[in-house]
Amino acid sequence: MPLRHQPHYVRQVKTKKNKGNRMDLGFLQFELDYYPVTIYQFMSVPLALMFYCLSITGRLPLTARYIFLMFGGLLMAIVSMGFYAVLVLIPSVLSMVFILSLEPRIIHKWTFLTQMGWQTLCHLWLHYKDYYLQEATDIKFIIALSSLMLLTQRVTSMSMDIHEGEIKIPARIMQQNGLGSEILYCSLPYFSYMLYFPALLGGPLCSFQMFRIHIENLKESGHKCIAKPLWSFFKKCVLFFLLNMLRISVRNCISVIEQSNQGSLQWGVPKDILLIWITALMFRLAYYSQWLLSESLNNLVGLGLDNGRTGKATLSDADIWTLETTSKISEIARTWNKTTAGWLRRMVFQHSKVQPLMSTFAFSAWWHGLHPAQIFGFILWAATVKADYHVHRYMGSVTAGSRVLRILYKVLTWMQTQLVIAYILVAVELRSFSCVLVLCKSVCTVCPLLYVLVLIGMPNKPSKN
């Protein structure tokens, strides 16, 4: 499933291939230190607190809650994206027109094609700026493109719900020449869902049903968990800062190695396995911290928290323990950025009649922007996931009779999984074709290549089920 929850909103990565198979890593300082999205997310914390406090005390009626979330999103869009906010507002309005005017059986088709078409045009413009003009793209455009990708998730998820009958749209007001006030009142929950500020710049993906139920029942359930959103926000913010401190330490290690190699890393020598793994670790820590921050902002308005006795989070992308300890590439594919993985499974995997796994990863590459290294990385990931199923199915019976063999098998497959994912993550993050060429000459290529050979050479074994 997808590698990222947030695309390259802070990245203008310029890699170049030098003599001796060297890759310039001067981008690393900028790569993970410059987080304007983080700043804007923290700026929205007072809005989230105000919304929650006013809602649970009864000072915000239902309509006002929707309006508050929507205008909060519009405000954050203007502040964070400037003029490029129109890139998000245009498809939002168009999707709303489709929802109010089209029949349920065709809403998803038109919404999906329009949304992905608009997003693809924006990505092609980024390609044109990056690869043809070789100009630095305005960071506000990158933020808008990231927000647009998240909007695509919400809009297509909602249109699929309508198509499958899980959401019942009121009578087609626009087709019946309804009054403007009726149209606005009918469209308010949907438009608020598309633009609500806690999810504008970061996920996780919340379904429209969950969003609407929470907003409608916020006052009634608020007294049961009045302290839980604050506690969840505080706890995840602490983890956010701890992970960022660890990430900075990892980046400093890479910087020391970079300086020892006179400004570049020498790929193609035995230590490149360690360097690729450390670089991937730095990226993973950045993702984990951003996921936690985005989740905490949603929790702060009460979204994603069980209002019962447990206070358990029900809306989360970050399962760090599983991602770092699993010995299965397929499990990482299901767990990495969980809500987006679920969205891809629903949009593509469950509806693909031919090669659903490969189709899902291919669509993920399309959604992420179709950069050369992204295509390479996602295709490679799909192949290794398929091979991973073969390996564990065959080796499970071989190691079943010996505890020592099972432990050894777990350790070896965990190492293999970590190195394969590290290789794929570095390729996707650096995006350029030159990066692919350099990585292909790396010793670390052996790790995914082994799984590709397994996929080619191992016959399919019928399932016992």
SS (H, E, C) 217-252: HHHHHHCCCCCHHHHHHHHHHHHHHHHHHHHHHHHH
Those residues whose C-beta lies under 8 Å from the C-beta of residue 102, and which sit 6 or more positions away, are: 110
- The predicted model gives 49-70 an average pLDDT of 90
Those residues whose C-beta lies under 8 Å from the C-beta of residue 332, and which sit 6 or more positions away, are: 323, 326, 417, 421
- Structural contact between residues 252 and 312, judged by C-beta atoms closer than 8 angstroms: no
Q: What pLDDT sits at residue 135? A: 78
Q: Quick check: is 18 catalytic?
A: no
Kindly tell me if the per-residue pLDDT of 271 is higher than 80: no
Confidence bin at 287 (pLDDT 50/70/90): very high
Confidence bin at 71 (pLDDT 50/70/90): very high
Residue 298 exposed, middle or buried by CB count within 10 Å (0-12, 13-18, 19+): buried
- Structural contact between residues 348 and 356, judged by C-beta atoms closer than 8 angstroms: yes
Confidence bin at 32 (pLDDT 50/70/90): very low
Q: Quick check: is 261 catalytic?
A: no
Q: Which candidate in 368, 371, 390, 465 is catalytic?
A: 368
pLDDT in tens, 189-230: 999 999 999 999 988 999 999 999 888 887 655 444 445 788
Confidence bin at 14 (pLDDT 50/70/90): very low
pLDDT in tens, 386-398: 988 888 887 777 7
pLDDT in tens, 133-176: 877 778 899 999 999 999 999 999 999 999 998 888 765 554 55
Q: Where are the domains of the chain?
A: 17-33+230-457, 36-222
Confidence bin at 15 (pLDDT 50/70/90): very low
What is 247-279 written as a DSSP string? HHHHHHHHHHHHHHTTTEEETTSTTHHHHHHHH
Q: What share of the chain in percent tops pLDDT 70?
A: 81
Sheet with 264-266: list strands edge to edge: 17-18, 22-24, 264-266
For CA atoms 56, 191, 143, 427, give the dihedral sign. Answer: positive
Alpha-carbon distance 21 to 24, whole Å? 10
Q: Which candidate in 298, 299, 307, 337 is catalytic?
A: 337
Phi then psi for 347, rounded to 5 degrees?
-70, -40
Residue 253 exposed, middle or buried by CB count within 10 Å (0-12, 13-18, 19+): middle
For residues 342 and 401, the model is more confident at 342
pLDDT in tens, 309-322: 334 557 888 889 99
Determine the 3-state secondary structure of 24 from DSSP.
strand
